[in-house]
Structure 1
Amino acid sequence: MEGLLVHIHMKTQINDQGRKETNTVKATGRLMSKGQVTYLRFEEPAEEGIDKTMQTVKVQQGEMSVIRKGAVNMNQRFVTGVETEGTYHSPYGPMRMLTDTKNVRFLWDESASKGEIQLSYALTLQGEFAGDYEMRVTLKEDKERQ
């Protein structure tokens, strides 16, 4: 697989009716561009006793897709200003996802070899409101291990 080797720091803040939660994932992955589309691919850090999950993020103008395969399977599109439907398959079974995307942004600074993906959306799982999500993915080229 070609592309830049990057350090990934993904921080997700969830606000569910006043209850706040923050999740952080750190990983190393590959960042590739094909035309106007950018792909980020990495293996999520595995929790003890749980199979690994590969995540592919596809970003283009105002739109992002997240594909997860492994312990968790998910395919969800996030389109600014649009409500989209997807399915989340966990060890507990499938759940219907509905996302109302507020904003998707991808910025890359070529000279500094770093960038950021920003995503904000409201999530409904199985018909129940699950919170407002703010996700920020910070990317920095790993120049030592290219």
Structure 2
Amino acid sequence: MKKNALVSVSSIQSKKKEDIIEVVTPGNFYKKENCYYVVYDETELAGMEGTTTTFKINCNDNKFSLIRMGTTSTRMDFENNKDAIVLYNTPYGPLELKIDTKKLNIDVDDNGGDILIDYNLSISGEKPQNTLLKINIKAQ
């Protein structure tokens, strides 16, 4: 099963509506073993031209990974009530990020679906910033 998909990603920081970043892009959606995958190319508008983003959605274990390869590279793993420290490589140098996942809801099947991640993000020991990430996948 490999399908074209329309992927909508919105990120809201500090629960303020004026801090919303939203991207809608075409991508590919497929299932391999017990996981769904979404793959799309980042754009110049997102500031990551030359980067491919992959979502690995493990519905059975309620885990989600955001993987970027290219001009920007990282692997951010999200799991309910778990912390993770990741390296986020940018063209300007690496950043160390701490991710504290508060809530992860996955509702995805062969037709696509929704993912909601509520997490705190801090960069190199700075004060954590609450972020709400909403992802919608429409398989075509």
Question: Displacement of 1:130 after TM fit?
Answer: 4.2
Hey, what's the Cα distance between the residues in 2 that align with 1:50 and 1:30? Answer: 18
Matches of 2:115 and 2:50, distance apart in 1: 23
Q: Which residue of 1 aligns with 2:52?
A: 54
- Say if 1:49 and 1:134 are closer, same or farther in 2 by CA, change over 3 A: closer
1:90 aligns with 2:90: yes
Q: CA deviation at 1:46?
A: 2.1
Kindly provide the CA deviation profile for residues 9-39 of structure 1, in whole angstroms up to 9, marking residues without a partner as x. 11110118x7951111111111111232111
Q: Residue 48 and residue 73 in structure 1: after superposition, are their counterparts in 2 closer, same or farther (change >3 A)?
A: closer
Structure 1 residues 16-95: aligned runs within 5 Å: 21-47=19-45, 51-60=49-58, 61-95=61-95
Residues 109-130 of structure 1 show CA distances to partners (whole Å, capped at 9, x for unaligned) of 55xx341111111001111124
- Is 1:3 the counterpart of 2:16? The answer is no
Check whether the contact 1:26–1:45 (CA below 8 A) recurs between aligned residues.
no
TM-score (norm 2): 0.86
CA contact (8 A) 2:42 2:49 kept: no
CA contact (8 A) 2:42 2:48 kept: no
Moved more, 19-28 or 87-96: 19-28
**1:108 Cα shift?**
2.8
Q: 1 CA distance for matches of 2:46 and 2:19?
A: 21
Structure 2: 5+ residue stretches without partners: none
Residue type at the aligned position of 1:30: N
Count, aligned residues: 138
Q: Which structure 1 residue ranges, 5 or more long, are not aligned?
A: none
**Paired residue type of 2:126:** E
**Contact 2:9/2:133 (CA < 8 Å) preserved in 1?**
yes
Tell me how far apart the structure 2 counterparts of residues 128 and 42 of structure 1 sit (CA, whole Å): 30
Partner amino acid, structure 2, of 1:22: I
- The structure with the largest alpha-carbon Rg is 1
Question: What's the counterpart of residue 14 of structure 1?
Answer: 13
| Aligned residue in 1 for 2:136 | 138
